Amino acid sequence: MIYAMRENLRLRGKVALVTGSSRGIGRAVALSLAREGSDVVVSYLEKKEKAREVADMIEDMGRRAITIQVDVKNFNEVAHMVEHVIKKLGRIDILVNNAGIIRDRTIKKMEKEEWDDVINTNLTGVFNCTKAVIPYMEKQGGGKIVNISSVIGLAGNFGQTNYAASKAGVIGFTKSLAKELARKGILVNAVAPGFVETGMLKAIPNRIKKQILERIPLGRFATPDEISKVVVFLASDDANYITGQVIIVDGGWYI
């Protein structure tokens, strides 16, 4: 199915790199960026077939799409990925640092590997991807970086010290980097979703999900598309005077 082209596409001619975009929020972000005219790099770690599905959908919209397997924890792998994207697509205008994992456990029971995996993926991975992309954005005269954090990075949560620490780190990283890169024309913001209908949410026991819903004033969980629309806004020219901000999208949970 070929999608009809709209005239007022906000991201026409842009190239976006979205990490962890074979499923969940990343998938929704990749597709939303494409709907607004962007070519998209679909980065994944394990879900090759799912990544290819996303790329096929993007190409059906008339955009260019490539899939790349990469472990964001690996600095050299990330550097090679970015070099490959530049060779294939010529530029990177938008970086969405979305790749993330959870390894929930109380600190008493948490193994060091569970701490390391979450911090290295959710926080060091953001550093690795951003570090690799910045030189190209500087040469282009600007760009947009959107980091996916979480309300858990602001509020904390039982059994999620590693996840909360990683997402709080993303917020600090975002605010500091925005100050460093503003003069280069590179805008850096974060989106902090609440509880979203993804695989991570499905892993939560029903009784806990019921308790969470009782705390959400809007009375429901977010959809991945609702998060992706905020990312698209921050990646577009509509947000050209916004940098260093954290946009909370949680239905009122963190009030």
User: Which of residues 200 and 252 earns the better pLDDT score?
Assistant: 252
User: What's the pLDDT tens digit per position in 233-247?
Assistant: 999 999 999 999 999
Cα 169–chain centre separation: 15
Max CA pair span of the chain: 56
CA-based nearest residue to 222, from 205, 198, 245: 198
| Separation CA 145–CA 231 (nearest Å) | 10
Q: What is the residue whose two structure tokens read 């939560």?
A: 204
Asked if residue 6 has pLDDT above 70, the reply is no
pLDDT of residue 106: 97
User: What's the pLDDT tens digit per position in 66-100?
Assistant: 999 999 999 999 999 999 999 999 999 999 999 99
CA-based nearest residue to 151, from 68, 252, 219, 42: 252
CB 58 within 8 A of CB 30: yes
Domains of the chain: 15-194+224-247 (3.40.50.720)
Tell whether residue 150 is among the known ligand binding residues: no
| CB neighbour class for 241 (10 Å; exposed up to 12, middle 13-18, buried from 19) | exposed
Tell whether residue 141 is among the known ligand binding residues: no
pLDDT of residue 188: 99
Write the CA distances from 83 to 61, 129, 133, integer angstroms. 25, 11, 9
Asked if residue 153 has pLDDT above 90, the reply is yes
> What average pLDDT is seen over the chain?
96
User: Which of residues 105 and 2 earns the better pLDDT score?
Assistant: 105
**Which of 64-68, 74-78, 190-194, 198-202 shows the lowest mean pLDDT across its residues?**
198-202
pLDDT of residue 8: 83
Tell whether residue 22 is among the known ligand binding residues: yes
pLDDT of residue 204: 85
Average pLDDT over residues 129-144: 98
Query: pLDDT confidence of 201, banded at 50, 70, 90?
Result: confident
Tell whether residue 73 is among the known ligand binding residues: no
Q: Which residue among 136, 163, 241, 254 is the active-site one? A: 163
Query: pLDDT confidence of 3, banded at 50, 70, 90?
Result: low
pLDDT of residue 46: 92
Tell whether residue 8 is among the known ligand binding residues: no
Tell whether residue 167 is among the known ligand binding residues: yes
Tell whether residue 149 is among the known ligand binding residues: no
| Separation CA 58–CA 34 (nearest Å) | 6
Average pLDDT over residues 118-142: 98
Is 163 a catalytic site residue? yes
Asked if residue 40 has pLDDT above 70, the reply is yes
Tell whether residue 10 is among the known ligand binding residues: no
User: What's the pLDDT tens digit per position in 176-185?
Assistant: 999 999 999 9
pLDDT of residue 255: 86
The residues, ordered by sequence, that sit 6+ positions from 157 with a Cβ below 8 Å of its Cβ are: 163, 164
Query: pLDDT confidence of 5, banded at 50, 70, 90?
Result: low
